[in-house]
């Protein structure tokens, strides 16, 4: 059976968690393939709220196998804490969670370095989540990282950790004039984590290829979104992994052709957390209205999200890059009661009208939005369960987004709960 993926089509927080929880109903295996505890996916089931940072959102469905694949960077503190939190709520992960031995660990010095780099007066400040993600991926690329295989083997752990702590401490003390970290203490903590996590660690690439060969339904859960992708997003204001479907094969160890159906998730407006260009951003009370109405505050850091209109050129770029088969459009309910709703259909850059998304970041920084206004709707749509019942202006807005982005809408979400969803029949 071909695999399915759910990918953020904007700058993250599109509502992937809700869509993944909904769609994994039919999955056998749910896989995270990139990112780490920088993600914050909120899922609401029967009024109960669950926030995922590292665990796949498939955890809520009892019979699913959950995988943290090789492309994820894993902070053992967060992983053990999150597993514990779910167990405390009566959701056992016993036998349902596998962690790739090739996944890299986020170590205490990565978190410290993330903070020190962001605190510098000179240089670019990204507004990271402070979870040590960038430094962990940098060590991976530098070939000095500690993988899960190393964490669970005391001798390998000791040798690799010693080399890293030695190097990082020189950096902390000499370059940042900060305090060094204690090796012995870090080793003891890491060794204990390795012992606890050992039963979960395996070759998940082989496991996934076997699952695909056995015709299991494998589901890939994206974190962040296309516009935060390291290679294809608004560099340097991005995360440090391939946070679109291009990262799936490398991040899991399955052939690219395994990915069958791709769902791009987008809000009916746009948000962004952290620094970086955001052409459709609203700096007035309409932006404030979206933030308050949509509860747009980060699930990981609590930071207020920047808000703006739906950006068509950016979403079309995301769709073309990933090859989305279907669009899940979320948070339509948040727009209820707005007299007029904007859609950014093109940009003006240096006096020229540009309809496609320019990938060179300074051009996006200079882009002024060209906005088409739509009449809004006053009805509360949260109880609506069929497309035909939506107000005509709301339907027209959805259809126009779908047509301009060039992807058939497949799911419309009108509230945070599982039930507040309109699913379109396959053609």
Active site residues: 13, 41
127 touches ligand IMO by CB under 6 A:
yes
Is 52 or 310 the residue whose CB approaches Mg ion more closely? 52
Q: What is the per-residue DSSP string for 320-376?
A: HHHT-SEEEEE-GGGGTT-SEEEEEEEEEETTEEE-SPP-SHHHHHHPEEEEEEEE-
Q: Which of 113, 200, 228, 327 binds ligand IMO (CB under 6 A)?
A: 228
Q: Which of 3, 5, 9, 13 binds ligand IMO (CB under 6 A)?
A: 13
> What's the rounded Cα separation, in Å, for the pair 83 and 73?
16
Q: Which uninterrupted H or E stretch holds 133?
A: helix 133-141
CB-based contact 228:12 (threshold 8 Å): yes
Both tokens assigned to 121: 């007066």
Is 57 or 420 the residue whose CB approaches ligand IMO more closely? 57
Stretch that binds ligand IMO, among 55-63, 123-131, 339-347, 375-383 (CB under 6 A): 123-131
Q: Which of 6, 31, 39, 254 binds ligand IMO (CB under 6 A)?
A: 39
Select the binding partner of residue 4 from ligand GDP, Mg ion, ligand IMO, none (C-beta < 5 to 8 A, by kind). Answer: none
Select the binding partner of residue 129 from Mg ion, ligand IMO, ligand GDP, none (C-beta < 5 to 8 A, by kind). Answer: ligand IMO
Coil, strand or helix: which one is 188? helix
Stretch that binds Mg ion, among 33-41, 204-212, 235-243, 319-327 (CB under 5 A): 33-41
Is 205 or 276 the residue whose CB approaches ligand GDP more closely? 276
Establish whether the linkage from the previous residue to 126 is cis, with ω within 30° of 0: no
Phi, psi of 315, deg, nearest 5: -70, -35
Q: How many residues bind ligand IMO (CB under 6 A)?
A: 22
CB-based contact 132:110 (threshold 8 Å): yes
Beta bridge partners, 68, equal: 32, 99
Binding mask 128-147 for ligand IMO (x = CB under 6 A): xx-x-xx-------------
Least separation in angstroms between residue 57's CB and ligand GDP is: 8
How far from chain centre, in Å, is Cα 207?
A: 23
Neighbours of 295 (CB within 10 A): 12
Select the binding partner of residue 217 from ligand GDP, ligand IMO, Mg ion, none (C-beta < 5 to 8 A, by kind). Answer: none
Site for Mg ion in 299-358 (CB under 5 A): 299
Q: Which uninterrupted H or E stretch holds 265?
A: strand 259-267
Stretch that binds ligand IMO, among 21-29, 218-226, 372-380, 394-402 (CB under 6 A): 218-226
CB-based contact 113:168 (threshold 8 Å): yes
CA nearest to 17, candidates 221, 258, 263: 221
Q: How many residues bind Mg ion (CB under 5 A)?
A: 3
Binding residues (CB under 6 A) for ligand IMO: these are: 8, 12-13, 38-41, 126-129, 131, 133-134, 223-225, 228, 239-240, 273-274
Positions that interact with Mg ion (CB under 5 A): 13, 40, 299
């Amino acid at each position: 059976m071909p695999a399915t993926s759910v990918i953020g089509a904007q700058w993250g927080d599109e509502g992937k968690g809700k869509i993944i929880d909904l769609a994994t109903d039919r999955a056998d295996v749910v896989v995270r393939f990139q990112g780490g505890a920088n993600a914050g996916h909120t899922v609401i089931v029967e009024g109960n709220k669950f926030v995922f940072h590292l665990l796949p959102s498939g955890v809520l469905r009892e019979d699913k196998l959950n995988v943290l694949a090789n492309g994820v960077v894993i902070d053992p503190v967060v992983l053990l804490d999150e597993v514990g939190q779910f167990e405390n709520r009566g959701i056992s992960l016993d036998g349902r969670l596998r962690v790739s031995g090739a996944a890299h660990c986020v170590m205490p010095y990565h978190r410290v370095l993330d903070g020190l780099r962001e605190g510098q007066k000179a240089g670019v400040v990204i507004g990271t989540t402070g979870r040590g993600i960038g430094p962990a991926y940098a060590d991976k690329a530098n070939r000095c990282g500690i993988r899960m295989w190393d964490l669970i083997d005391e001798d390998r752990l000791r040798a690799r950790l010693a080399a890293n702590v030695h190097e990082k401490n020189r950096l902390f003390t000499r370059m940042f004039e900060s305090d060094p970290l204690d090796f012995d203490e870090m080793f003891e903590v890491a060794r204990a984590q390795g012992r606890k996590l050992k039963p979960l660690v395996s070759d998940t690439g082989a496991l996934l290829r076997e699952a695909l060969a056995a015709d299991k339904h494998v589901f890939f859960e994206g974190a962040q979104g296309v516009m935060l992708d390291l290679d294809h997003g608004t560099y340097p204001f991005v995360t440090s992994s391939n946070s679109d479907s291009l990262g799936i094969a490398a991040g899991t160890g399955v052939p690219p052709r395994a990915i069958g159906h791709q769902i791009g998730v987008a809000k009916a407006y746009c948000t962004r957390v952290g620094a970086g260009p955001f052409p459709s951003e609203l700096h007035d009370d309409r932006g404030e209205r979206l933030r308050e109405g949509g509860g747009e505050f980060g699930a990981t850091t609590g930071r207020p999200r920047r808000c703006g209109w739906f950006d068509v050129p950016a979403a079309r770029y995301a769709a073309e890059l990933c090859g989305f088969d279907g669009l899940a459009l979320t948070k339509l309910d948040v727009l209820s009661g707005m007299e007029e709703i904007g859609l950014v259909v093109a940009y003006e850059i240096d006096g020229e009208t540009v309809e496609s998304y320019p990938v060179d970041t300074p051009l996006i920084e200079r882009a002024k939005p060209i906005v088409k206004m739509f009449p809004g709707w006053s009805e509360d749509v949260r109880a609506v369960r069929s497309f035909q019942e939506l107000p005509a202006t709301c339907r027209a807005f959805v259809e126009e987004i779908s047509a301009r982005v060039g992807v058939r809408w497949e799911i419309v979400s009108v509230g945070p709960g599982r039930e507040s969803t309109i699913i379109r029949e396959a053609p």
